Structure 1
């Protein structure tokens, strides 16, 4: 049975396989496909060209072309192409297209010089065997339409509110144009849409191609559409056109706009304008109080009044009428005029009497204010037409003006105008004159002798006096008193005798006023006290004199200011002192120049020169020059002690610069020979001289000897062969060294006769330089002192520096050695270093400040299998390990955002981390190591809560145990307390418990820890909360079981891996203080007691601990 089933399945599979292969064979016969295109474009103008291509795949045997002129409604056979024969033939009815159409057997058709009759759809169909494929393309012969025309269906005239029908016709155009409408309102130039005329549009396409396109519109007429122009527009690809404008006419009744009432100012021109909008034109009539003023049969009636008067105020009407209807508008005209004021012209009153004056005012509109104004004082009295002054004063004199004011607001759009009217009354008040005013009209109160002075006396501005006063003068001088009259007083040429007081008095019929006076001072310009006209004097003295002085005495009024100078420049205040004496009776100023000061006390050679004394006051300046000649023995200024003689040169010259007064005689001594030298004098510094010895051809010592009457001076110059440079001298620091640089200076030695370069050698070398590599110092050889900055140093480092010179013949000797130590640089340390959980490849640390990079170094770790002593020794030897720098996976200069360092091997290596300057990676801060580092991960808030709950529960259990042991061992405790030894022990323990926290802290730190652990406990002294572990003060017991249990409990608490007191727990920032009495033999790491008890060595004690969190 199973064999038959398998056989049937095999036959079925074979049949399916045959069908699949047959289907694959039949699918290999491809169907006929067509790709049709036309170009370059299908819209062409008459005479244009277009190519239509039909690409058959595989090539068709027959290609049929058909043409439809009515968009495919009917088709006409156009041409037939036979691929085998390679021929194409046009149908008979299209034979006339032979010169404009061509077909080809490859499926292409070309139209050229196209005409309107060729506009239509072209279809090509290909046949191959039994397959066929066809497609078509539309070819449009584009022709522009003619200009459209607009006509009215019935009439171009309509009554307001009726409809008007218009037609727009455009002939030709293929494709048919689009037609739109627009209107130009009366008196406008721009066209707009017909939206305001409620249009109804219709459109009729051409009945045949290239026929007429017709569009119609029906509009609702209104008065605003009268004489409006309507046009239609055709839009076509070839051209846009606009029709003729058709003006429509609308008949409507008169429309009178509102005529505003007018207000006009008297004397102004007024135009009354009646305008009626009507068709046909309306008759206009202007009425005043129902009386006709004027008529007109035109759209506008203008009635003008050149100058309105008060009698034209009244009511007016404007009437318009035509065959359609009539309209009327009423308005008014008001004539405005300013106030008219009348008042007396003048009044007179005595000082203290009463005054009353009135004025009369008329105005339209009535005035809103009437005031009396006194322009002289700015006073304004009340709102009344009456001026009343009960007691006239001097200040009441002058013009009083009665002012009335109204507000005239014309209706012609102009700004409102204040109408003003006034009348002036002259009020005169008589009173005696006050103190006059005396002024200089020529000269001033202080003049030079011989000047012209003119004085004038004027009435007081505040109290001039009425009537006008007369004037008299009283002149008081040191020698006489005289009198003059009149307002002016003139002195043609003043002298010292004219100095004095000039008083003027004003007087009139009402009385005499107080006197006014001025003082006249006659002054003189500076003059020398000795009346000498000489401007230059010469004084000779000797160097070393301490009491020498130059004196300037001058007379002048006002007092003169005396200034000293040397050779045209200001004096050095450190080398001179100037004293000044003034005699106010004689106006004599005496200035003394002494040659002493903070920097010297006697005359010096450099005091030679021209000393200028200038005296000046406000009237002039005089100057006198003292030529001071200070004689002194010769001083040789030449500092050169060596010169090299170039073997290639035949000779050299030696120069000797000398300061001497008088001029010295100079000789050169060479061995036993002496030569007299010519001496030249400096033109700027007369006591500076120069002697030159020419033609030196040999080596040796040459001595310059300068002599004058006061002494002699010598200076020797050694002429030597060329050689290496001499060592520099005076190497020193210009300022204390910084942490990374120091500023140095020194004086170069003799260059050996060749151009020498300066070199510096630093030990140890600066960063980036080798140990034996000297540093070249660029310097100016013309300077006697060289300054340089030595950079790239390390902080807190001892350095030794020497300098030397080098020329073509070799290097010179070193200078004296300079030693210095760079300053320290405060650097941050790595903080928060801890393990990331139990990971052996990741560390956690705090972010470090910007500008620093992390340096990580690795060394072999302390092996756990070693003894404790070996481990401790290896920790102490950490500085001697072979540390190698570790390349981090992340950037060493950017703090990781998650605080993690990855890619480490904490299981076999110990790491040392430090922060270095980003721009000086060799400058690093203190290092932190990973030894004894906490291995616990950061604890979350939930973990802290759980640990706190566990600690609370533990404390409750410990309290319960405490109560249990207290109750159980009370008799034993009493017995123990009776013994004297235990009492002493208890006292000692109490003393230990009473010890201050600082002592307990010191006992805790007796166990040495690495730097990392020291940084971990740094917060202990900061005053933050901490965990304290101490023995309970009230209990001691000898129960060994309790001691063991307690030790186990607190050994767990003290373990570095316990979450309560571990370095990486939630209390990692807190301090753990342990009060263990005598902890000398207690191991904090293991929590075991090596001495037997805490209180007594060799004895077992039960100690209850109190844990406070």
Structure 2
């Protein structure tokens, strides 16, 4: 409490000081900062040492130390240090720390011989004047945990499938240890993870520091975990430990192994064995068909049968049960026996048909061969239990014997045995009647509805059938299938439902013969499906209905064609859809007119009218009219909101055009007065109405109010004096702007009572127009929207557009401003710009694409300077140049064939070249200038490679030729020297001529003007332009080359009449002797090379 009181007093004193010195010159006070550190480490064992340092900048006047043993939840005042007094004092409750803790006024705190109670968070806070800063550090007293112990929460015994809860407890340890688990399965020595037991882990930290750490695990028990040992492990920075082993016991239901199925020959002995694994031991029971055969209360049960019979075959079950559960294992016992054959005593079959007779063979195992034997003919058919003759004949009648044989192999290893069996069948062959004959006795195959038709069916003459057949009819129409009997069939009055196929079949006890059929077609003119004779119906509905449709259903054969009309005219395909459905079974054509289409989806007022439906086929035509009445509330179509009253006119009339069904009542409201108006109806469009208010002589607002049973509508018209037009509205772009144009639209305002014209003002103006010149827009005044294209724009340019109207009384206000930016346009640039050698009048450049023109501009050249100030001035001069367009001698839109631009003055002017659109010369691409331009033509890398290769090859050839002549002349010279003296002399001279020339003395002579050379070299060394001029009579060319004794070019000699010299393009030298050429004072310098 006393530290908080001092802190508050200090803050109050600082605030008073600020108030006292407010308004006077105040000194800047740096904010208090804190850098806190602890070491050498913050995790120490009991008895260890740690230093905590708080460095304040600038030094704090007061330093408060606080301690929290619960991670900052609550704080206790530890110590207070006062810098001026140089003293630190501990709080009363921490006096017992005196021999283990020390604080200093410099912001340091030292713990030595640390104990558990000093584990926690240490915070220091410094105060200086009105500033404060604080920070904290955590100090952990590390102690090892005790050996863990494992216990079962309830019991160490569990039932398989349940969970067993285990607890591991470790006392002490700071920080708390990490706990893990492992298991040793029964009959194993190594421990492994609990993954196979589906563990669920939990961990509970100590309730207080240095307390007990508890970890729990819930494991899913299985039979394999019975008598398994589980331990837990603790991991801690100071020590790791393992708990005692806890053996768990698992009670589980019986588990039965697979029991092999057995095979035994009837009459032999059989043994059955059952074994179960369970805890506790299970009771074993042997069952057959859920009947108990034997029982045993031990792990194994043995059941014996001395003599097997067929009734022992079946499924047996070995059942094991204990207090936990039960298990069942099914297996089979098969008793083997020879075939037992059964077959029908007699079979009747139709002649020529397939004869199929089966014999039922019971045997175990099934027979490997089954044969049919015919004793009368000696035929043998097999191998199948079914006798199959695809076309039976009368010779196939008689006795047939089915014979079967199997092989019985028991599972006990005894020798296999053969088994045999047989049965006899008496076969009788009959034949059915043939196809009858069907004919009309009255009528034909195609008749009109209402006619009489008679049919007759007679037996076949070639195959009448034995015994004598009877006759039946099958009548298949589009709607049903009917049956009749007897040889004759009569229809007194035919209808569409009688159309179909009539089939007659002859049948006797041997079978049914093939059917003979004949078709009957009944035709009918169109008839309405509802059988109504009314030709006109009326339907009333409401506007906005989305699923309304008119249906025209008609029946007739041939199928009817249906056509729709509205008020006697063809339908609008955009407002209606017509679907046609034909039912071939009922001969019904159904045409549906739906009031939907590309332009709408619901009923509209314009759907009122008479809709005609006509149906027609080859036998006639019928027509029906649907009068559709669509009711809707009034809709006022008048769009005029203002009218001007001419002062010279005595009165005007106001009109209100209304759509409504039923007919509305119309009134005009003027101020507080209302007038009932007569309503006229459009004869062609009954739901269109018009109300007129006559004799309007004053200005004001007139409101047309239309009402009917479904609602009302209002529309106001302001009658005003004539004046300038209202501003247009809704100025917008119809599409994103192009680089040179944009499409605009807007809605004109009220024209002021006079004919108005539309105007557009664009800033900056399009090419070819002045800044203050608006553009007149021609438009149709009857249209509610005006559209216009603004052209001749420049690419990548910001534009602002407004529109306004103008009449005889003046211009209206501007519309809202529309701003847009035109798109960019990719333009080619001039390429390959270079001098033509040293020419000062000709430039070379690459050809440009078609559709573009070359723009050439010139400005005075800026002299090159060396100092930074002069270079900066040079840039300013270049940016302020006045460029003027240069007219070329050749066409500016056709690239010169030789790539040359002539007639230029490169010595005094700088040129800027750019490519512009041929049809828009103001639209140009980036410019290329002649400043810092290369004097050599651009050469491609391929050209350089080719020239280098050629030069290399030429040098190799010259070297080879030189070597050849040297080797050839040496033997020849020796031979001629030995033959004669004259020849030797000649050889010596030849050798002298062939040998490399002796190095001769070379010097450069100069004619009078001795100071010129020095001045020239001085100018060369200073980097200024210079020239060597040689008017010597022996030099015939204006441009000569001076060479030294090594045959290397070292300078170009320019004559006095060279353009550079003649145009006085050389700057004066720095030498005062005046040996350079100055304007008006040309001097000749003569150099001569003497070798």
TM-score (norm 2): 0.42
Q: Distance in 2 between matches of 1:159 and 1:1042?
A: 117
Per the alignment, do residues 237 and 400 of structure 1 end up closer, same or farther by CA in structure 2, a change over 3 Å counting?
farther
- 1:1056-1107 Cα offsets, whole Å, 9 max, x none, are 999999999xxxxxxxxxxxxxxxxxx9999999999999999999999999
- Post-superposition offset of 1:750: 0.5
- 831-840 or 258-267: which moved more? 258-267
Q: CA deviation at 1:731?
A: 1.1
Could you tell me how far 1:520 is from its partner in structure 2?
A: 3.9
Structure 1 position 835, deviation (Å): 0.6
What's the offset of the Cα at 1:133?
154
Q: Deviations over 1:847-903 (max 9, x none)?
A: 222221110011222313454774477458755532111111111111112211111
| Structure 1, 932-941 or 416-425: larger mean CA deviation | 416-425
Specify the SS of the correspondent of 2:938.
coil
Deviations 1:906-958 (A, max 9, x none): 11111111111111111111111111112136899999899849986999999
Measured at CA, do residues 1040 and 681 of structure 1 come closer, stay the same or move farther in structure 2, by a change above 3 Å? closer
Give 1:609 deviation, angstroms. Answer: 2.3
Q: Equivalent residues in 2 for 1:816-827 (5 A)? A: 816-827=816-827
Deviation larger for 192-201 or 361-370: 192-201
Q: How big is each residue's C-alpha offset from its partner over 1:24-72, in whole Å with a ceiling of 9 and x where there is no partner?
A: 9999999999999999999999999999999999999999999999999
CA contact (8 A) 2:804 2:814 kept: yes
Deviation, structure 1 residue 527:
1.1
Deviations 1:595-649, CA, capped at 9 Å, x for gaps? 5678766544333222333445565443322212222222211110100111222
> Secondary structure in 1 aligned to 2:387?
strand
Across the aligned residues of Structure 1 and Structure 2, the Cα RMSD in angstroms comes to 54.1
Please give the alpha-carbon distance, in whole angstroms, between the structure 2 residues aligned to 1:1021 and 1:397: 139
Change in 2 beyond 3 A, CA 1:405/1:1105: farther
What is the rounded CA distance, in whole Å, between the counterparts of 2:856 and 2:342 in structure 1?
Answer: 110
Q: 1:490/1:886 Cα in 2 relative to 1: closer, same or farther (>3 Å)?
A: farther
Distance in 2 (CA, whole Å) between partners of 1:141 and 1:2 is 30
Deviations 1:654-677 (A, max 9, x none): 100011111111121222322222
The verdict on how the C-alpha distance between 1:480 and 1:279 changes in structure 2, with shifts beyond 3 A counting, is closer
CA contact (8 A) 1:929 1:1012 kept: no
Taking structure 1 as reference, are residues 1054 and 637 closer, same or farther at Cα in structure 2, changes over 3 Å only? farther
**What do the CA deviations read for 1:136-177 (whole angstroms, capped 9, x no partner)?**
999999999999999999999999999999999999999999
Query: Could you tell me whether the CA contact under 8 Å between 1:1032 and 1:1103 is conserved in 2?
Result: no
1:807 match: 807
Which residue number in structure 2 is paired with residue 705 of structure 1? 705
Q: Which moved more, 1:92-101 or 1:857-866?
A: 92-101
CA distance in structure 1 between the partners assigned to 2:403 and 2:998 by the alignment: 100
CA distance in 2: counterparts of 1:706 and 1:131, whole angstroms: 79
Compared with structure 1, are the counterparts of its residues 638 and 362 closer, same or farther at alpha carbon in structure 2 (3 Å cutoff)?
closer
Residues 283-339 of structure 1 deviation map (CA, whole Å, 9 limit, x = unaligned)? 999999999999999999999999999999999999999999999999999999999
Which segment is superposed worse, 30-39 or 719-728?
Answer: 30-39
The answer (yes or no) to whether the contact 1:1091–1:1097 under 8 Å persists in 2 is no
State the alpha-carbon separation in 1 of the partners of residues 79 and 194 from structure 2. Answer: 52
- Aligned in 2, Cα 1:975/1:1051: closer, same or farther, shift over 3 Å? farther
Mark the CA change 1:773 to 1:869 in structure 2 (over 3 Å): closer, same or farther: same
* Contact kept? 2:1040, 2:1054, Cα under 8 Å: no
Structure 2: distance between partners of 1:65 and 1:707: 88
Deviations 1:735-786 (A, max 9, x none): 2222211111111111111111111111111111100001111111111111
Name whichever of 161-170 and 360-369 sits farther off.
161-170
Give me the whole-angstrom Cα distance separating, in 1, the residues matched to 2:555 and 2:815.
64
Structure-1 residue corresponding to 2:1086: 1104
Equivalent-residue separation in structure 2 for 1:69 and 1:584 (angstroms): 96
Deviates more, 1:50-59 or 1:547-556: 50-59
- Cα pair distance change 1:711/1:939, threshold 3 Å: closer
Distance in 2, matches of 1:525 and 1:766, equals: 74
1:504 paired to 2:486: no
CA contact (8 A) 2:1026 2:1066 kept: no
In structure 2, relative to structure 1, the CA distance for the partners of 1:541 and 1:912 (3 Å cut) is same
Residue by residue, what CA displacement relative to the aligned partner does 1:63-122 show, whole Å, maximum 9, x if unpaired? 999999999999999999999999999999999999999999999999999999999999
The secondary structure found in structure 2 opposite 1:967 is: helix
Distance 1:1031 1:641 in 2: 96
Describe the shift of the 1:127–1:644 C-alpha distance in structure 2 as closer, same or farther (beyond 3 A): closer
Displacement of 1:822:
1.5
Q: Which residue of 2 aligns with 1:220?
A: 220
Greater shift in the superposed pair: 997-1006 or 35-44:
35-44
CA distance in 1, matches of 2:327, 2:404: 44
- Partner deviation per Cα, 1:476-513 (whole Å, 9 max, x = no partner): 99999999999999999986588456999999999999
Distance 1:856 1:944, change over 3 A: same
Q: In structure 1, which of residues 1064, 1073, 1087 is the aligned counterpart of residue 1069 of structure 2?
A: 1087
- Which stretch shifts more, 1001-1010 or 508-517? 1001-1010
Which residue number corresponds to residue 1024 of structure 1? 1024
3-state secondary structure, aligned to 1:395? helix
Q: Assess, with a 3 A threshold, how the Cα gap between structure 1 residues 33 and 463 changes in structure 2: closer, same or farther.
A: same
Relative distance call for 1:865 and 1:973 in structure 2 (3 A) is farther
Q: SS in structure 1 opposite 2:933?
A: coil
Aligned partners of 1:1039 and 1:1102 also within 8 Å: no
CA distance in 2, matches of 1:540, 1:127: 92
Distance of aligned partners of 1:944 and 1:1092 in 2 relative to their CA distance in 1, 3 Å threshold: farther
Aligned counterpart, 1:939 = 939
- Report the CA distance between 1:842 and its aligned residue: 0.5
- Name which of structure 1's ranges 521-530 and 581-590 shifts more when overlaid on structure 2: 581-590
Instruction: Please give the alpha-carbon distance, in whole angstroms, between the structure 2 residues aligned to 1:87 and 1:138.
Output: 25
1:160 maps to 160
Residue 530 of structure 1 aligns to a residue whose secondary structure is coil
Q: 2:555 maps to which residue?
A: 555
Seen in structure 2, the aligned counterparts of structure 1 residues 369 and 963 have a Cα distance that, compared at 3 Å, is: same
Moved more, 701-710 or 862-871: 862-871
How far does residue 652 in structure 1 lie from its aligned partner after superposition? 1.2
Q: Is the Cα contact below 8 Å between 1:60 and 1:83 reproduced in 2?
A: yes
CA contact (8 A) 1:583 1:589 kept: yes
Change in 2 beyond 3 A, CA 1:809/1:367: farther
Moved more, 621-630 or 516-525: 516-525
Are the structure 2 counterparts of residues 978 and 425 from structure 1 closer, same or farther at C-alpha, using a change threshold of 3 Å? farther
State whether residues 667 and 706 of structure 2, in contact with CA within 8 Å, keep that contact through their aligned partners in structure 1.
yes
Asked if 2 retains the 8 angstrom alpha-carbon contact of 1:177 and 1:236, the reply is yes
Q: How far 1:591 sits from its partner (Å)? A: 5.0
Comparing 987-996 with 591-600, greater Cα deviation is found at: 987-996
Structure 1's 177 and 456: CA in aligned 2 closer, same or farther, altered over 3 A? farther
User: More deviation in 326-335 or 338-347?
Assistant: 326-335
The 5-angstrom pairing of residues 255-654 of structure 1 reads: 448-449=448-449, 499=499, 519-545=519-545, 548-560=548-560, 562=562, 564-568=564-568, 585-590=585-590, 603-617=603-617, 619-654=619-654
1:666–1:363 distance in 2 versus 1, CA, 3 Å: closer
SS at match of 1:1031: coil
| Preserved CA contact (<8 Å) 1:734 1:744 | yes
Q: Residues 737 and 315 (structure 1 numbering): CA distance in 2 closer, same or farther, change over 3 Å?
A: closer
Shift of 1:684: 1.9
1:664/1:306 CA distance change after superposition, 3 Å = same
CA contact (8 A) 1:1037 1:1102 kept: no
Tell whether the 8 Å contact from 1:962 to 1:1104 is kept in structure 2 after alignment. Answer: no
Superposition TM-score, scaled by structure 1 size: 0.41
Distance 1:455 1:234, change over 3 A: farther
1:992 maps to what in 2?
Answer: 992
* In 2, Cα distance between equivalents of 1:539 and 1:27: 97
CA contact (8 A) 1:837 1:938 kept: no
Q: In the alignment, is the contact (CA less than 8 A) between 1:200 and 1:219 conserved in 2?
A: yes
CA distance in 2, matches of 1:863, 1:499: 112
Distance 1:644 1:1039, change over 3 A: closer
The secondary structure found in structure 1 opposite 2:26 is helix
SS of structure 2 residue aligned to 1:6: helix
**Which range moves more in the overlay, 723-732 or 13-22?**
13-22
Residues 338 and 421 in structure 1, CA contact (< 8 A), matched pair in contact too: yes
